[in-house]
Structure 1
Amino acid sequence: MAAPESIPWSPPSGWVRLSTLDLHTEGEPLRILASGLGPVPGATMLEKRRYAQGHLEGLRRLLILEPRGHADMYGAIVTEPTSPNGDLGVLFLHNEGWSTMCGHGIIALVTGLLETGLRPSTFPGLDPRRLQVKEEIRIDTPAGQVLARPEWSPSGHAARVAFRNVPSFAYALDEVVDVPGLGRVRYDLAFGGAFYAYVDATELGLDLEPQAYRSLIEAGMAIKRAVIASREIRHPLEPDLGFLYGTIFGGPPRDPAHQARNVCVFAEGEVDRSPTGTGVSGRAALEWARGRLRQGQPFTVESLLGTTFTVTLVEEVDFQGLPAVVPEVSGRAWITGRHEFLLDPEDPLSEGFLLR
């Protein structure tokens, strides 16, 4: 159990109140901070992320970890946009820190804002009514701007959200690393908003089913640590994006109408319940690099639970000298509840803890 950390935004005495809107995207949770924090400083989303890393760690722990959350909780903080044409910005948080982009988070965030008209205290100027009439919502993330497109049901609900992701690319193919307990493991590296090591689960004898949850965590973290120790990963544009976020195990789909199955182990042993939006973006870039996926061809990926995202390559681009693609990912999200959390200054575990 990690020791609690300070919360710079917390007053020296008195109770703190925070409210959230909670959703899940194809099984993966998202907790949106609705009130209790003001605007996050920073002229760019990467600057805001660095501010959060230095000043909002206690807030992250309180929202994500036990006793208010759990080891696999995920969160979002809405900010004002940092690009001239942006509608809003977002920072994503998890059990280890602050991610650079999150596909399931984009789908849930857009669904939550449109369905509830939420005006987060972190961006008081946000006008959800304006978002409801836009065909595309421009969202600034630390990895770049993504374009979200809601699909409306006949009853007027946001039934589905598709988002056009940042340029995604294969970084390395058919690499090999020695992993304690697993031997020599073959992997690919790709970027879809974050870097992942992609591993064929069948080569390791791993089953991509819920009952294999624990063994997938152990293998995924061992591979992640081994790859980090064995090589440097550099993003061609932003040094802050040059790190390995997780391991994605791939395998054949259970439904013959689909094309693949993904299980993503990221951060400090979190397991994504969805197919992973950034992960399917990177997988689509790998399939394209190997000549197995063409522009405009739908590619549907299952999660550990059997829920799906569909990714389509909408454009082929040159990204800082690298051949890349722009993927569009589509999925569904549902609201699960609202919460008001309290922080008692006398509570010795007020900022949360992690047991895994």
Structure 2
Amino acid sequence: MKIQKSYTATDVHVAGEPYRIIKDGPLIHYKSIQELNEKFSLAYEEEIKFLLNEPRGFAGLMGCLVVPPFKSEADAAVIFFDHNGTIPMQHGGVAAVITALLECGQLKAKSSGEYRIETFSGVIGVAAAMKDDEVKLVKLKNEPCHVVQTNVPVSYLDLKTEVSLVQADHLYAIFDKAELPFEIKMEDLPVINQWGQKAIEALEGKYAFSRVILMDHSQKNEGKIKTVTFRPDCYIVRSPGFGTLAACCSYLIENGDIPADSPIENESIFNGKLTAELSAQFEAGYEFSFSARGFITGMQTYVLDPADPLFAGFLLK
């Protein structure tokens, strides 16, 4: 076997969503994280396919490139990316990166537990609680999100319902599960997938949505909701979702369904859990503080043989 390329990566999952973290790549010149972000998709085009596509990755895998910080107040800088290129901000990615850097000893633990991660969207404050050299809990805040529209009628084939739109890291279309004859659980995954495809088709061409959420808030009085989130390609997001949780909390608070000072736990169909609590309310919307935990799942060296017929990999969605 001849090795044309090799990359060492640390894999971390946060509430079920996987992240592949690398700290090396093509040697290109850049003076700021904005310049690196601009050059990334072209300079790292082969690396994106190599690290995220099958057979080494899959359609739901996210990437994080960690580099030294550009700003003196930051502890590290990160570029987030998926199969299509860079992403300005990934809250789960921040939790994954701080977990990997601290647990692998690449970032010295601070007695304050407070760290700052530089991203394309700015410098993000993050708190990491450590015990016995493990990161037990990560806390961070989101950008303000706001409710755009509520109770908009939707009619498509046999789907007759209402949708609410909330702007967070994406524009989320939220549907209420109350009247649907299935539960958000693995056993009902086939019918959930069918519903998701129908909901996406109902919204296409009418709203510039980026995610569709099916929310079960029957236990909201106990501080719990359950959701499943779809991308526009019908792929189910593996995490309960920082953005999903922020969007759902904003909707529930705005609708008077939960008190503003009540923490909410969101559980995904895969039983991953995230917790959010309102930290500030502005005219522009709501800001939440999230609690999550990352787990290192592996450290691998990925190699590329030039004779490999699947040089660029492939994706099944």
Structure 1 length-normalised TM: 0.77
CA contact (8 A) 1:94 1:267 kept: no
Q: Does residue 64 of the first structure (1) align with residue 52 of the second (2)?
A: yes
Match in the other structure for 1:331? 292
In structure 1, distance between residues paired with 2:51 and 2:240: 23
Question: What's the counterpart of residue 161 of structure 1?
Answer: 138
- Alignment counterpart, residue 248 of structure 1, candidates 203, 206, 213: 213
- 1:15-164 maps to which residues of 2 (within 5 A)? 15-38=4-27, 41=30, 43=32, 45=34, 48-81=36-69, 85-118=73-106, 128-129=107-108, 132-153=110-131, 155-164=132-141
Structure 1, unaligned runs of 5 or more:
1-12, 119-127, 233-243
CA 1:86 to 1:269, structure 2 compared with 1: closer, same or farther past 3 Å?
farther
User: SS where residue 352 of structure 1 aligns?
Assistant: coil
Q: Secondary structure at the match of 1:281?
A: helix
* Matched residue type, 2:249: A
RMSD: 3.0
Range that drifts further, 337-346 or 215-224: 215-224
Code of the aligned partner of 2:91: G
Q: Is the 8 A contact 1:144 1:166 kept in 2?
A: no
Q: 1:301 to 1:77 in 2, by over 3 A?
A: same
Per the TM alignment, residue 335 of structure 1 is displaced from its structure 2 partner at its CA by 0.9
1:313 touches 1:328 (CA, 8 Å); kept in 2?
yes
Instruction: Determine helix, strand or coil for the equivalent of 1:230.
Output: coil
Q: Does 1:191 align with 2:179?
A: no
Match of 1:309 in 2: 274
Name the CA shift for 1:335/1:208 in 2 (closer, same or farther; >3 Å).
same
Q: Would the aligned equivalents of 2:23 and 2:67 in 1 still touch at CA under 8 Å?
A: no
- Deviation string 1:31-61 (CA, Å, 9 cap, x unpaired) is 112333446847455x654433444343222
The two structures have a TM-score, normalised by structure 2, of 0.85
Rounded Cα–Cα distance in structure 2 between residues aligned with 1:256 and 1:57: 47
1:286 aligns to 2:275 (yes or no): no
User: Which amino acid is 1:166 matched to?
Assistant: E
**Which deviations, in whole Å up to 9, do the C-alpha atoms of 1:320-351 show, x marking residues without a partner?**
xxx31111110111111101111223323122
Q: Does 1:354 align with 2:315?
A: yes
Q: Is the alpha carbon distance of 1:255 and 1:203 closer, same or farther for their aligned partners in structure 2, counting shifts above 3 Å?
A: closer
Amino acid at match of 1:329: F
Give the conservation status (yes or no) of the 8 Å contact 2:216–2:225: yes
Structure 1 residue identity aligned to 2:295:
W
Quick one: distance in 2 between partners of 1:353 and 1:283? 34
Which amino acid is 2:282 matched to? V
The whole-number CA distance in structure 2 between the counterparts of 1:215 and 1:199 is: 15
Deviations 1:177-220 (A, max 9, x none): 444x5534422222332222111234444431123334434443
The yes-or-no answer on 1:170 pairing with 2:153 is: no
CA distance in 1, matches of 2:6, 2:100: 21
- Structure 2: gaps spanning 5 or more residues: none
How many residue pairs match? The answer is 316
Which moves more between the two structures, 204-213 or 301-310? 204-213
Instruction: Judge conservation of contact 1:17–1:343 (CA < 8 Å) in 2.
Output: yes
Report what 1:3 is aligned to: none
Provide closer, same or farther for how the CA distance between residues 147 and 205 of structure 1 changes in structure 2, counting only shifts above 3 A: farther
Give identity over the alignment, percent: 23
1:100·1:193 contact (CA, 8 Å) conserved in 2? no
**Structure 2: distance between partners of 1:73 and 1:62:** 12
